[in-house]
Amino acid sequence: MTSAVSFQKVSRHFGSVRAVDAVDLDIVPGEFFAMLGPSGSGKTTCLRLIAGFEQPTAGSISIFGERAEGVPPYRRNVNTVFQDYALFPHLNVLDNVAYGLMVKGVGRPERQKAAEEALALVRLPDYGARRPGQLSGGQRQRVALARALVNQPKVLLLDEPLGALDLKLRENMQEELKSLQKALGITFVFVTHDQGEALSMADRVAVFNDGKIMQIGTPEDIYQRPKTRFVADFVGSSNVLPPDFVQRYAGQHRWGSLRPESIRISRANGEGVAARLVSTNYLGATTRLALDAEGLRLHAIVPAGAALPREGEAVVLTFNREHLHLMDELG
């Protein structure tokens, strides 16, 4: 099967800075693919390489089997939704959505009809006459999405498009984006630094750091079976356990990952890992506990309302051995 997007040893250097460093990547047609990582990790540069806003220093990029190096953005069958939406304030919503078709020379009646259909697709059928300044943040995000979709791209690139929205609206838009992607069957490539967004929406996730991909896998693979210390710590803030600790409790001298929700806490009168409760952090549905275990800072998550020891009190930590995931030495 031809990949929707393929990177082969792609690098992008800015002077001595290796923003993207020999990345190999294949995105399947029709999948929702997330690029996840902290600021400066290379994920946005990869998106810009796909869009044509940047050119690779080395390596090759193909989009549905066609080489993309040197091809300008307007000749690639991709469209981008930006974090700031980049709407034209002097145009109404309908003309904003139809703008790309106008640039392509599509006649006014045809492009307006296509723009109206795109607005209906994002549930804004009666907003064509309004100006962007009359819309909420969520509505502007939908208009930007409609403007990208009206061109019927094979690949839709989304550069942290939910970052400016409040939490509730962001959660709603996550559900809507995933439903829309399934309905349209278009390949979505979504860049985010938010682990929750990536895990909740994507079919597969690539975790970036220092210009490299640390791991690619399903959300469950990334969360439950991180390959490196960086992935374990960045995605869901797992407890990263050093080899000496793992040797004592799992019999192997390797780095380990133990999710906070896998730890059980009891009073200090049984077998397990001796620890002391340092602090508690109420999170609504759950409470996050900070613990000192043999000089190692660990975190546990328990249901809100669960009986808790007092801060400073000695406790015992237990966990199922199968929940302790062993990782690679590096990263």
Q: How confident is the model at residue 116 (pLDDT cuts 50, 70, 90)?
A: very high
Q: How confident is the model at residue 330 (pLDDT cuts 50, 70, 90)?
A: low
Answer yes or no: are the C-beta atoms of 265 and 246 closer than 8 Å: no
Average pLDDT over residues 236-256: 90
Q: Where are the alpha helices (DSSP H) in 207-242?
A: 219-224, 229-234
Q: How confident is the model at residue 161 (pLDDT cuts 50, 70, 90)?
A: confident
pLDDT of residue 164: 67
pLDDT tens per residue, range 265-319:
987 777 889 999 999 999 899 999 999 998 899 999 999 888 888 899 999 999 9
Place of tokens 């050093």: 242
pLDDT of residue 328: 76
pTM: 0.90
pLDDT of residue 85: 77
pLDDT tens per residue, range 30-44:
999 999 999 999 999
Task: Enumerate domains of the chain plus CATH numbers.
Answer: 5-226 (3.40.50.300), 233-326 (2.40.50.140)
DSSP state of 132: G
pLDDT of residue 61: 97
Task: Name the nearest CA neighbour of 171 among 180, 162, 179.
Answer: 162
- Distance between the two ends of the chain, CA-based, in angstroms? 32
pLDDT tens per residue, range 261-270:
999 998 777 7
Average pLDDT over residues 170-190: 90
pLDDT tens per residue, range 119-135:
999 889 989 999 999 99
Whole-Å CA distances, 107 to 100, 121, 310: 12, 21, 71
Q: Which two tokens stand for residue 101?
A: 């078709």
Q: Which two tokens stand for residue 170?
A: 């962001």
pLDDT of residue 91: 93
Q: Which residues pair with 18 in a beta bridge?
A: 13
Neighbours of 211 (CB within 10 A): 22
